[in-house]
Amino acid sequence: MDTKGEALADVAYGLFEVFLNKELRKQGLQLFELVENSTDFSGEFTENFALFSTDYPLLADALTGEYGSADAIYRLFTEGEGVIPTKTTKIFWIFLDAPGYDPGCVSAEKAGKWLIFLEPGHTDAIWKKIRDATAAGELGISTKVSTAKQNPESRDDRMDIYVYTRDWEDEEDVMRIREVLRDLGVTDRIGYKRNIETFQGEYSEKGKKVTYYTA
């Protein structure tokens, strides 16, 4: 497949993962738990890939064109693609929403996130703790982690975890989440950035601070 086709396949992979996670959660399942527990979910996978193919035939064709078959895509998931940050090379980010989170009920400009920067060797273990706490409803509204896929916008080799909160003005909740992160092993001082600054394209530079809280 040419470069353009590979890029489309990567986009399709990311969209299918979102689709698969959503459908599995409807059944009370979590993709990461199935993968990490080595559970055979090939039946659920095949069923959901068929649904995806019906709803998004061009994307499904791009996936099978790149990887050969639905079975080959299933094997990628079981090997950690899209689940384990350092084993994921098809998508830039792995996402997880907290139980009951509805983006339509949250003001994008009121939200913000704690920023965690880690060396690759430490990322998988910390991400697993943060992901599990998010899935249990113990942190904020959602979280995401960067992956091993080379991102031209990255400034260094560190990997990023963003832990989102509903309202940057709710300092009590923001700091509660910070303490949970500390209990999970994030003990270094970290910053909290409001979405307002992100939307305005403001990023940290020498002599310029864009974090709203630091703790």
Close Cβ partners of 74 (under 8 Å, ≥ 6 residues apart):
42, 45, 46, 49
Q: What integer pLDDT is reported at residue 191 of this predicted model?
A: 96
Q: How many angstroms separate the Cα of 190 from the Cα of each of 96, 181, 206? A: 21, 10, 17
Tokens for 161, please give them. Answer: 């975890």
- The predicted model scores a pTM of 0.90
Q: What integer pLDDT is reported at residue 54 of this predicted model?
A: 97
Q: Per residue in 62-101, pLDDT tens? A: 999 999 999 999 999 999 999 999 999 999 999 999 998 8
- Reply yes or no on whether the pLDDT at 204 is more than 60: no
Tokens for 73, please give them. Answer: 């895509």
- Reply yes or no on whether the pLDDT at 177 is more than 70: yes
Tokens for 30, please give them. Answer: 């979590």
Q: Per residue in 132-171, pLDDT tens? A: 999 999 999 999 999 999 887 777 889 999 999 999 999 9
Q: Per residue in 21-70, pLDDT tens? A: 999 999 999 999 999 999 999 999 999 999 999 999 999 999 999 999 99
- Smallest CA-to-CA distance from 30 within 16, 20, 43, 40 is with 20
Per-residue pLDDT band for 3 (boundaries 50, 70, 90) equals: low
Going from the N-terminus, what domains does the chain have, and what CATH number goes with each? 3-83 (no CATH), 93-214 (3.30.760.10)
- Residue 162 · residue 113 · CB < 8 Å: yes
